[in-house]
Amino acid sequence: MSSSPAGSLSNTIEEVTKHHTSAVIEAYTSSGDTFLRIEKESLLAVCSWLKEEHDFVYLADIVGADRFTSDERFEVIYNLLSLKNQCRLFVKVRCDEDAPSLESVTGIWPGANWKEREVYDMFGIRFENHPDLRRMYLPEDFQYYPLRKEFPLLGVPGSIPLPNTTPDAD
């Protein structure tokens, strides 16, 4: 096993395809980054395995994406960093348009808490077993998910109330 960053990353990919054969859909590199797309059912298993066996102890970010396709419309991308091996791995999962939901990874990386809340806020993807799945930025009673493609750029008029401009009124 080589100790160079690229070496340990390709070793990780090799091992993950061996240990989780049915979970891995594809693994590829693009623009110098390595991506691993997996089945959403195996998300927790693969993630905890990556953390335990390959030192991906740091979840740098969670990103949502609206692919605007008729099947598997939403994609969630986990940006994992191994401080020990000095390498970065992007894990992708896709989910369907109707009631999109994924397992929460807060049990593996507690720092996922706010990141998953942000993805929920912007795309409406629910994270099961999340300790506190509330909106992150937008008001609690906001009814839309603004980073979905069909959401208008300037928002839905009247969907977020402006303050009362009559002083001393209730």
What minimum distance in Å lies between the beta carbon of 162 and another protein?
A: 5
The tokens of 58 are what? 């740091």
What minimum distance in Å lies between the beta carbon of 19 and another protein?
A: 43
What minimum distance in Å lies between the beta carbon of 98 and another protein?
A: 24
Report how many residues bind another protein under the rule CB under 8 A: 17
Query: What whole-number distance in Å separates Cα of residue 126 and Cα of residue 134?
Result: 10
Torsion angle (degrees, nearest 10) of CA 99, 102, 107, 113: -60
User: Is residue 158 involved in binding another protein (CB under 8 A)?
Assistant: no
Query: What whole-number distance in Å separates Cα of residue 117 and Cα of residue 30?
Result: 28
User: Is residue 133 involved in binding another protein (CB under 8 A)?
Assistant: no
**In this complex, which beta carbon is closest to another protein, that of residue 90 or of residue 151?**
151
Give me Rg for the CA atoms of the chain: 19
Q: What is the largest CA-CA distance in the chain?
A: 73
Q: Which stretch binds another protein (CB under 8 A): 64-72, 76-84, 111-119, 159-167?
A: 159-167
Q: Which stretch binds another protein (CB under 8 A): 1-9, 30-38, 40-48, 136-144?
A: 136-144
72 neighbors 19 (Cβ within 8 angstroms): no
Binder of another protein out of 30, 70, 164, 170 (CB under 8 A): 164
User: Is residue 139 involved in binding another protein (CB under 8 A)?
Assistant: yes
Tell which residue, 54, 125, 115, has the closest CA to residue 93.
125
- What is the DSSP secondary structure assignment for residue 40, as one 8-state letter? G
User: Is residue 58 involved in binding another protein (CB under 8 A)?
Assistant: no
**In this complex, which beta carbon is closest to another protein, that of residue 60 or of residue 147?**
147
Query: What whole-number distance in Å separates Cα of residue 12 and Cα of residue 81?
Result: 12
Q: What is the contact surface with another protein in residues (CB under 8 A)?
A: 137-139, 146, 151-156, 160-165, 167
